[in-house]
């Protein structure tokens, strides 16, 4: 089992990563002061539950933990205030108190929803992230928890750090292919914002990675979590630099909200958004065309079987309006994370609307 630390002083916590480590969960909870005198409340979804809920319950109950659970419908549409209320009602009925601990067993949706529920339940109880998707190497780390609003992604949320991230990578074996590809969007993002070397490594080992082959997949997850935890440790609540983790998200979130959190899954929207960011960076001259940054971005995303083109039905003006709801917007001005090269990005304000519109038109022609 590998261990990383998210260094946040009194809110620091470990990320434990390993294949087949579920049986070690009780002792790791105990090490974090989560003993059998505290009731556990598992939040999961109806696609994860058939695979892993009983397994986790058996392991915990056999060591004396008292557990209850709530199963939400799978997918992005569960990240709503209505679901938050349902999970809360279920926790109240199960007798959870202020010493109880929530466990989010699933992908980013369960992590964001379950984590936000923990952040608000009786004004806040601890929670543990138990990620089961590749994408959740990102969502389980850093403490951003939220639900969506029809107007925009993650509009209602909090910063609430988990007490532990416990990542059994064996769970990835049951993940549908489309979700594996989507998870690589955030892995590639971590390369694009932070390290040309990691991006090159991902490129080189794409086939092994897509097959979830050891030790490549564990190394990719480890490196992605390491990059994320370093950024979060520097700027926990996104006062500034943490925004680099948002590469591609201003465009991506607009696509997700305009399609009512249905057609495109998060990783796919982020992939297209990262291509948009690279095209915009070239357009405004932030990055020299001769470096081939947008082409390199397109190539690596295509290698991981991700979409790179804006679908025809997205209207650039509607996209622009939706993008103006981005949480990075300041004083009505859009703020973008744009590449300077492969492995480095800059936070850029004051880009004219027509530059964004023209970029969106070009994005429809990418192939
Ligand atoms: N908080 C953050 O920092 C952060 C970071 C990135 C993404 N996110 C959020 O994460 C969400 C996307 O997360 P996701 O891609 O994990 O989606 P998800 O949670 O919807 O999981 C994807 C699908 O896979 C299923 N699934 C999960 N694990 C499985 C497994 N092991 N075997 C079989 N099926 C499994 C789920 O039921 C779901 O249908 C978005 O809402 C996004 O906004 C948050
Ligand atoms: O942790 C962060 O910070 C991120 O930006 C990670 C993103 O991958 C993630 O999708 C996050 O939820 C987006 O945050 P938001 O503040 O733009 O809603
Ligand atoms: Zn994301």
DSSP letter string, 33-50: T--TTS-EEEEEETTTHH
Cβ pair 144, 112 in contact under 8 A: yes
Q: Over 90: is that where the pLDDT of 27 sits?
A: yes
Q: Over 90: is that where the pLDDT of 102 sits?
A: yes
Q: Over 90: is that where the pLDDT of 331 sits?
A: no
- Cβ atoms < 10 Å from Cβ of 1: 13
Q: Is 164 annotated as a binding residue?
A: no
Across 59-71, average pLDDT: 98
Q: Which residues of 86-120 are buried (b: 16+ CB within 10 A; e: fewer)?
A: bbbebbeeeebeeebbbbbbbbbbbbbbbbbbbbb
Q: Is 308 annotated as a binding residue?
A: no
Cβ pair 45, 54 in contact under 8 A: no
Helices (H), the chain: 25-31, 49-62, 81-93, 108-120, 136-139, 177-194, 196-204, 206-210, 216-234, 249-258, 266-283, 293-303, 316-323, 353-363
Q: Over 90: is that where the pLDDT of 169 sits?
A: yes
User: Is residue 268 lining ligand 1, measured as CB closer than 6 Å?
Assistant: no
Structure tokens at 157: 């949320």
- List, for residues 277-316, the tens digit of each pLDDT value: 999 999 999 999 999 999 999 999 999 999 999 999 999 9
Across 92-102, average pLDDT: 98
What integer pLDDT is reported at residue 330 of this predicted model? Answer: 85
What integer pLDDT is reported at residue 332 of this predicted model? Answer: 83
Return the residue whose CA atom lies nearest to atom 21 of ligand 1.
Answer: 107
- List, for residues 218-243, the tens digit of each pLDDT value: 999 999 999 999 999 999 999 999 99
- Interatomic CA distance for residues 118 and 356, integer angstroms: 38
Say how many Å lie between the CA of residue 291 and the centre of ligand 1.
34
Quick check: ipTM above 0.95?
yes
**Of 274, 295, 290, which is closest to residue 339 (Cα–Cα)?**
274
- Interatomic CA distance for residues 326 and 216, integer angstroms: 34
Annotated active-site residue 204? The verdict is: no
- Read off the DSSP letter of residue 134: S
**pLDDT above 90 as % of the chain:** 98
- Interatomic CA distance for residues 111 and 259, integer angstroms: 22
Across 261-270, average pLDDT: 95
Cβ pair 110, 79 in contact under 8 A: no
Say how many Å lie between the CA of residue 29 and the centre of ligand 2.
27
**Pairing relation of β-strands 40-45 and 335-341?**
unpaired
Annotated active-site residue 39? The verdict is: no
- Interatomic CA distance for residues 289 and 183, integer angstroms: 28
Across 92-106, average pLDDT: 98
To which residue do tokens 């138990």 refer?
130
Helix axes 177-194, 216-234, angle to 10 degrees: 50
Q: Which residues of 272-310 are buried (b: 16+ CB within 10 A; e: fewer)?
A: bbbbbbbbbbbbbebbeeeeebbebbbebbbbbebbbeb
What integer pLDDT is reported at residue 207 of this predicted model? Answer: 98
**The model scores a pTM over 0.95:** yes
Annotated active-site residue 144? The verdict is: yes
Task: Please report which ligand is nearest the Cα atom of 170.
Answer: 1
- Interatomic CA distance for residues 254 and 118, integer angstroms: 27
The continuous run of DSSP H or E covering 103 comes out as strand 101-106
Return the residue whose CA atom lies nearest to atom 26 of ligand 1.
Answer: 48
What integer pLDDT is reported at residue 135 of this predicted model? Answer: 98
- List, for residues 112-135, the tens digit of each pLDDT value: 999 999 999 999 999 999 999 999
Annotated active-site residue 241? The verdict is: no
Distance separating the N- and C-terminal Cα atoms of the chain = 41
What integer pLDDT is reported at residue 343 of this predicted model? Answer: 98
Which residue in the list 123, 239, 313, 365 is annotated as catalytic? 123
**Pairing relation of β-strands 13-18 and 40-45?**
unpaired
């Amino acid at each position: 089992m590998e261990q990383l630390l998210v260094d946040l002083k009194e809110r620091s916590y470990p990320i434990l990563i390993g294949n087949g480590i579920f049986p070690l969960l009780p002792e790791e909870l105990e090490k974090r002061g989560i003993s059998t005198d505290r009731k556990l409340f598992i939040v999961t979804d109806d696609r994860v539950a058939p695979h892993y809920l009983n397994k986790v319950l058996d392991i915990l109950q056999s060591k004396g933990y008292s557990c209850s659970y709530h199963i939400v419908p799978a997918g992005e549409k569960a990240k709503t205030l209505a679901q938050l209320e349902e999970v809360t009602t279920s926790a109240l009925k199960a007798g959870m108190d202020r010493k109880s601990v929530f466990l989010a067993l699933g992908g980013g949706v369960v992590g964001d929803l379950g984590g936000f529920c923990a952040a608000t339940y009786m004004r806040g109880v601890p929670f543990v992230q138990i990620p089961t998707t590749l994408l959740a190497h990102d969502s389980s780390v850093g403490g951003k928890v939220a639900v969506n609003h029809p107007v925009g992604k993650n509009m209602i949320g909090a910063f609430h750090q988990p007490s532990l991230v416990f990542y059994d990578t064996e769970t990835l074996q049951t993940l549908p292919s489309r979700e594996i590809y989507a998870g690589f969007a955030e892995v590639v993002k971590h390369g694009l914002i932070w390290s040309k070397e990691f991006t090159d490594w991902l490129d080189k080992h794409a086939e092994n990675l897509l097959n979830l082959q050891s030790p490549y997949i564990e190394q990719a997850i480890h490196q992605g979590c390491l990059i994320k935890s370093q950024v979060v440790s520097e700027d926990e609540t996104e006062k500034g630099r943490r925004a680099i983790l948002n590469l591609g998200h201003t465009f991506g979130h607009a696509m997700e909200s305009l399609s009512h959190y249905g057609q495109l899954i998060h990783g796919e929207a982020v992939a297209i958004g990262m291509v948009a960011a690279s095209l915009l960076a070239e357009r405004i001259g932030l990055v020299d065309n001769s470096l081939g940054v947008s082409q390199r971005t397109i190539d690596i995303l295509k290698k991981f079987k991700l979409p790179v083109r804006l679908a025809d039905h997205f209207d650039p003006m509607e996209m622009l309006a939706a993008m103006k709801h981005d949480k990075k917007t300041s004083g009505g001005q859009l703020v973008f994370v744009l590449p300077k090269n492969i492995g480095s990005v800059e936070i850029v304000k004051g880009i004219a609307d027509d530059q964004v519109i023209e970029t969106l038109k070009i994005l429809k022609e990418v192939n």
